[in-house]
Amino acid sequence: MKIALIGDEDTIALFKLAGVNICYGNEEKFSEIVNDESIAILLITDEYAEKLRNKIIQHRLLKEMPIIIEIPGKKKMEREDTIKKLIVRAIGVEVE
């Protein structure tokens, strides 16, 4: 089973380094990806997820695979000030 990504250029570059080979920078490939039976997981940045909200909801109601996981994109990550805030958000504990 494969992993696919729809996201911005920087997110694509990072995931390609991690070994994800099916990467697209536009939402037009969504239907093609969700109908490909070899893909188990579709990662999609929040920016594209908002554009595709209705299609994502429809897919989740009708099909089990691929699992669609929304991840923060570059724009959302730029708003995070420090690693400390990321840790607090992830585990809910203040780090000294």
Tokens read off for 4: 């696919």
Mean pLDDT of the chain: 82
pTM here is: 0.73
Where are any strands of DSSP class E within the chain? Answer: 2-6, 22-24, 39-45, 67-71
53-95 per-position pLDDT tens digit:
999 888 888 888 999 988 887 765 555 555 666 666 666 666 5
Which among 72, 64, 5, 7 has a CA at the least distance from the CA of 33?
Answer: 5
Question: Is 10 in contact with 49 (CB distance < 8 Å)?
Answer: no
- pLDDT, residue 92, reads 65
15-67 per-position pLDDT tens digit:
888 888 899 988 888 989 999 899 999 999 988 998 889 998 888 888 889 99
* Residue 6: pLDDT band with limits 50, 70, 90: very high
The CATH superfamily assigned to 2-91 is ATPase, V1 complex, subunit F (3.40.50.10580)
Rg (CA), the chain: 15
Percentages of the chain per state (helix, strand, coil), in multiples of 5: 50, 20, 30
